[in-house]
Structure 1
Amino acid sequence: MVVLNRIYTRTGDDGTTALGSGERRPKYDLRVAAYGTVDETNAAIGVARLHLQEMTALDAMLGLIQNDLFDLGADLSVPQREGKAERLRVVASQVERLEKDIDSLNADLAPLTSFILPGGTPGAAYLHLARTICRRAERMVVELASQPAEPVSEAAIQYINRLSDFLFVASRAANHNGGNDVLWVPGQNR
């Protein structure tokens, strides 16, 4: 259980922060940036949910995802080390649940004939924003994983990749199952 009695500790006043392992890193460290951007994704999903409360099934999916994103942040905040007791990690079943939710939402959508511009309903627009933040988080997580001394689990990478797909399909669902999608018209303004 997490207990937060004091919100400020002053330990970060020197420009460092503690990983979940207790190791201190600069606040601009790639690992810190990666889980910080995962947190930013979570906040954007929270804003989207304010506009999707009438879509109870989608809102429930997003609620599970928000919890998963805290799991992902915890996973990323403690680098995997050989011989160390395992901490909270994203697992394959979380990725599988996302895939099932994508398939469920996508079943009611017409096939795409154009790229979609972010917009339509407010909920869809915020889901598009969450998707783009998620893609930035994914780029950071993949870059982090490419560093020899910065292990990242395969499930964590899969989860963040699948999440951006989910957010795209969810934005279409929030756009009245694609009825309010704003389609890109190539060269329209030439």
Structure 2
Amino acid sequence: MVKLTKIYTRTGDAGATRLGDMSQTVKHDHRVAAYGDIDETNSAIGLARCALGADHELDPVLARIQNDLFDLGADLCVPESDTPRDWQPLRMDAGQTTWLEGEIDRLNDRLDALNSFILPGGTEAAARLHMARTICRRAERQISALIASGNIVGAPVLTYANRLSDLLFVMARITNDDGRSDVLWVPGASRDT
């Protein structure tokens, strides 16, 4: 269980931070950037939930996602290690991604197929969900960079981020009157003809 008694530690004053295993690294480390972007995604989802309201059908889905994002951050902040630990790190599970896929399918069944890309906008909630989606895509890129730099990251981490951005896209459409109020991209609309 997490217990926070002191909020500041001064560790970061020189550009360093501690990971979940208490090892020290620099704040610009790919791992720190990745879980920072996950945290930002979570905050953006919190704003979207405020715009939707607690009685909206998507609120419990987003609440579960926010909790899963803490699991994802916890997974990322503890590097994989061959050294035995006194404790078991929290790791993402493939079932969390499977649940996202079920939600994507369930919600997308209500929507008409797209014939154009969508501009982020429409309702405030849709715009906020699109913002969360783009932050999540950045997190996905950071996780990919972390993996490319030679760090071992469990497969469910990257897969979850990828599916989450897809679900946030579908949710944005749902909040735009099931896609009927989507703002469609018109290619070349402002070019001289």
TM-score by length of 2: 0.95
Q: Specify the alignment match of 1:186 in structure 2.
A: 187
Matched, 1:105 2:107: yes
1:24 shift after superposition? 0.6
Q: Find the aligned partners of 2:148 and 2:159 in 1 and give their Cα distance.
A: 14
Q: Which one is further off, 75-84 or 18-27? A: 75-84
Matches within 5 A, 1:68-83: 68-83=68-83
Q: Which runs of 4+ in 1 moved over 3 A?
A: 83-86
| Aligned equivalents of 2:76, 2:54: Cα separation in 1 | 33
Return the alpha-carbon distance in structure 1 between the equivalents of residues 117 and 82 of structure 2.
44
Q: Name the counterpart of 1:5.
A: 5
Note the C-alpha offset of 1:10.
1.3
Correspondence list, 1:30-179, <5 A: 30-53=30-53, 56-85=56-85, 86-148=88-150, 150-179=151-180
Local SS of the residue matching 2:12: helix
What is the CA-CA distance between 1:84 and the residue it aligns to? 3.2
Distance 1:177 1:84 in 2: 50
Superposed displacement of residue 115, structure 1: 0.3
- Distance in 1, matches of 2:149 and 2:7, equals 32
Structure 2 counterpart of 1:70, one-letter code: F
Unaligned runs of 5+ in 1: none
1:57 alignment partner, SS class: coil
Amino acid at match of 1:142: S
> 1:56: Cα distance to partner?
2.9
Distance 1:23 1:54 in 2: 39
- What are the superposed Cα offsets for residues 126-181 of structure 1, whole Å, 9 maximum, x if unpaired? 00000000000000001101122x11110001000100000100100111100110
Letter matched to residue 19 of structure 1:
L
Which secondary structure state, in structure 2, belongs to the residue aligned with residue 25 of structure 1? strand
Letter in 2 for 1:52: L
Write the distance in 1 (CA, Å) between the matches of 2:77 and 2:184.
39
Question: How many Å separate the matches in 2 of 1:80 and 1:170?
Answer: 33
1:54: how far off? 5.9
Q: Distance in 1 between matches of 2:67 and 2:54?
A: 20
